[in-house]
Amino acid sequence: MVTKKKAVKKKVLSKPAATKAAPKVIEFSLYPTKSYSEEYQVTGFHYAFMSADNKMCHHWIKCRDFLQDALRNQLTGRKDQIYSFNYNPDTDPKVETKRTLMLVKRVGKTTEDSKTEFALMMKSALQLVNHYEKMYKFTPRSTLIRTKHNGTGPDQDVYLFQGPGIWSQGAIMIAIYTFLIRLGHFKPEFKTDDELMAEYERIIKDKSNSNDTKYLKTVYKNLHPALEHRDKHLFKKPGYKKGDKVLFHDSPMNSFHHHSGIVSLSQFNTPVKELNDEFRRIFKSGN
């Protein structure tokens, strides 16, 4: 009697578990370091525009007014400088304005705990920026990307905020954008705009960061109307034609540097009287 052999099941090797893709990291080229005069900033945040081909457009700055200076120089072809900061549009990498590419690092904090804390601050900063982008339909919304640079030293912990170009198309817009990033230092917790307003009021009472809390007290109720009426303070207003002068084109460098951000707009002391008068009406009427 012939017995049938039992069919032997082939052992099927299980597929390896899918590995999680490594987070995207962008490498950028450092700008030659210079020394320049700046006020002390508690957060330690430093900023720099990045060009479309991943180059720092200027040296690291902590005073955000220099970012406004760089934008105006590029748009006007001027080579103005102040406090040793000089963005030269002829020789420096071009600031990207179709997108906003903003590098941010934190100086003087190199322990693993401080790096973890900085990552949480950057995540909070992104939430703040995205909150306003969603409300005003700015697209594509900003994203946060880890970076590395081609240099050496302890300041390897750098993040890139990549967002819509509208933030880089006006002095007041870039001032708001970078201020929201700096407010990430306080890690506000919110889901709604009302909850965010309550968090702003909490931060204003914080005694550890007098500059930012003072600025926030001046501007927080004006952020919405400033963004809603952004067309009135962009460098190139609606109807702009090639050859027209941009907003602040003829403003003296010292006046522009110190008075072209959201704080000056809230205090109605920008170098452009018509702009001050317009926003005095807007802010006081609430719309």
Q: Across the chain, which distance is largest between two alpha carbons, in Å?
A: 110
Report if residue 11 sits inside a domain: no
The mean pLDDT value for 134-146 works out to 97
DSSP tag of 84? T
The mean pLDDT value for 170-196 works out to 97
Report if residue 3 sits inside a domain: no
Residues 6+ apart with CB under 8 A from 108: 44
Total domains in the fold of the chain = 1
Task: Give residue 10's pLDDT.
Answer: 41
Report if residue 231 sits inside a domain: yes
Report if residue 91 sits inside a domain: yes
- pLDDT, tens digit, 9 for 90 and up, residues 29-72: 889 876 665 565 667 899 999 999 999 999 999 999 999 999 99
Task: Give residue 24's pLDDT.
Answer: 72
Q: Domain of residue 111: give its range.
A: 25-236+243-285
Tokens for 7, please give them: 């069919």
The C-alpha angle with vertex 67 and arms to 228 and 177, in degrees rounded to 5, equals 35
Report if residue 9 sits inside a domain: no
Q: Which DSSP helix (H) or strand (E) runs through 45?
A: strand 45-49
- pLDDT, tens digit, 9 for 90 and up, residues 205-228: 987 767 899 999 999 999 999 999
CB under 8 A, 24+ apart: contacts of 251-256? 253/69, 253/80, 253/81, 253/82, 254/82, 256/68, 256/69, 256/72, 256/171
Query: Distance between CA atoms of 173 and 247, rounded to whole angstroms?
Result: 13
Task: Give residue 107's pLDDT.
Answer: 82
Query: Is the model's pTM score more than 0.85?
Result: yes
Report if residue 173 sits inside a domain: yes
Mean pLDDT across the chain:
88
Report if residue 19 sits inside a domain: no
- pLDDT, tens digit, 9 for 90 and up, residues 113-129: 889 999 999 999 999 99
The mean pLDDT value for 20-33 works out to 73
Task: Give residue 111's pLDDT.
Answer: 81
| pLDDT at residue 153 tops 80 | no
Report if residue 131 sits inside a domain: yes
Task: Give residue 22's pLDDT.
Answer: 45
Task: Give residue 220's pLDDT.
Answer: 98
